[in-house]
Amino acid sequence: MTGDDWKTGEGQAGDWDVEDVPEEWKVVSTTEHFRARVITGVTDAVVMPDGEVVDRDYVTHLGSVAVVAMDERERVLLIRQYRHPARHLLWELPAGLRDVDGEPLHVNAARELAEEAGYRAGTWNVLVDAFTSPGMSDERTRIFLARDVSPLPADELDFVRRHEEADMPAVWIPLAEAVRRALGGMIHNSQAVAGILAAYAASADGFASLRPADAPEA
C-alpha cells in the first residue's frame, strides 16, 4: 500500500479521516476528591452512547511544554531528574508546567529551556502535540524543536534551581543515539521518547514540514 491507498478502503483505516477531533459526552455530575497545586482528582458520571451512566476517575492538570534542543551537530540536549512517583532518575527534555496565565506556549518553552538548561534558541517549531495519559489525565503537552541554540550569558541566569532541579546533569547526545536508547528501553520519559522520535522523523525533510512555533492547538 502506497500514497493515499489507505483512504480508498484498501487499508485497515478504510474511509475514516484519521485525525483526532474534540468530543464531549454528557456529564451528569462531578465529584472533586482533592485539589493540589498542579493536579485535581475528580470523578465524572458520564452518559455512554447507549444511555448507561458510568463513573470515570481522572486528574485535571495545568498542562506542560517540552523542548528538543538541537545543536548544529544534530545533538539533542537531555537532562536527568529524579521523579518520585516513578522511583527513577529519568533522562528528560527541558520541560515545565503551563503555569503563567496567558503566556504563549513557545514563550513558556523558551523560559523552561533557559531555567532548566541555561540555553536559548534562535529557531523554534512545533514538533508534536500529545495527551500524556488520556485515560487518567487531561494533561496536554506541546513539544517544540529549538535550533540555533546558544548558552545564556551569566548575567541572564537569574533563576534558582531547588529540590529535584537542584542537581540535574545535562548531556548533548547525537539524535540517532537518542533514538537507539529510546527504542532500546533506556529512555522512558514520555515527552523525551515522543520528542526524540518526532525529531528524527522530521529530520527526513530537514524539518521543513514542521508547524510554526505559534501554531494553534487543536
Which is catalytic among the residues 92, 103, 165, 217? Answer: 165
Q: Which residues does 145 contact at the CB level (< 8 Å), separation at least 6?
A: 67, 68, 70, 124, 125, 126, 127, 199, 202, 207, 210
Amino acid at 167: D
Residue 165 is among the residues annotated as catalytic for this protein = yes
Decide if 111 contacts 96 (C-beta within 8 A).
Answer: yes
Report the DSSP beta bridge partners of residue 83.
Answer: 88
Q: By three-state DSSP, how is residue 6 classified?
A: helix
Of the candidates 192, 215, 216, the one whose C-alpha atom is nearest the C-alpha of residue 22 is 216
Residue 108 to residue 34: CA distance in whole angstroms: 27
- CA distances in angstroms from 61 to 36, 90, 161, 199, listed in the order given: 10, 21, 22, 26
- Annotated active-site positions, please? 165
